[in-house]
Amino acid sequence: RVHQGDLHVHEKVLRYFDVSSQYGPCIGISRMRRWNRAERLGLRPPIEVLAVLLKEENGAVSRAHMDEIMNPSATGPDLA
């Protein structure tokens, strides 16, 4: 995809997870919490997403890309 040419593989993995509705909504919830919820519900979220989230624990990748677009000033317990 041309518009994703400058993205790193880990960002592509996370964005795919963000737009995959089978794991539930991505707005207003951290990626880690969403991944854990999907796992708890037996939805089998991609283990690659968890690997990226654990590697990038500094919080820079905690919010879904769509969440940043829809609500750039969002703050809260899941988004901090």
List the pLDDT tens digit at each of the 80 positions of the chain.
556 667 888 889 999 999 999 999 988 899 999 999 999 999 999 999 999 999 887 656 677 776 777 766 654 555 44
Check residue 3 and give its pLDDT.
60
| Of 25, 33, 65, the residue nearest 50 (C-alpha) | 33
Check residue 4 and give its pLDDT.
62
Cβ atoms of 16 and 31 within 8 Å: the answer is: no
Query: Helix H segments across the chain?
Result: 9-19, 31-40, 47-55, 65-70
Check residue 74 and give its pLDDT.
52
Other beta carbons within 10 angstroms of residue 69's beta carbon come to 9
Check residue 80 and give its pLDDT.
42
Give the global pTM. Answer: 0.69
Domains of the chain, by residue range, sit at 2-70
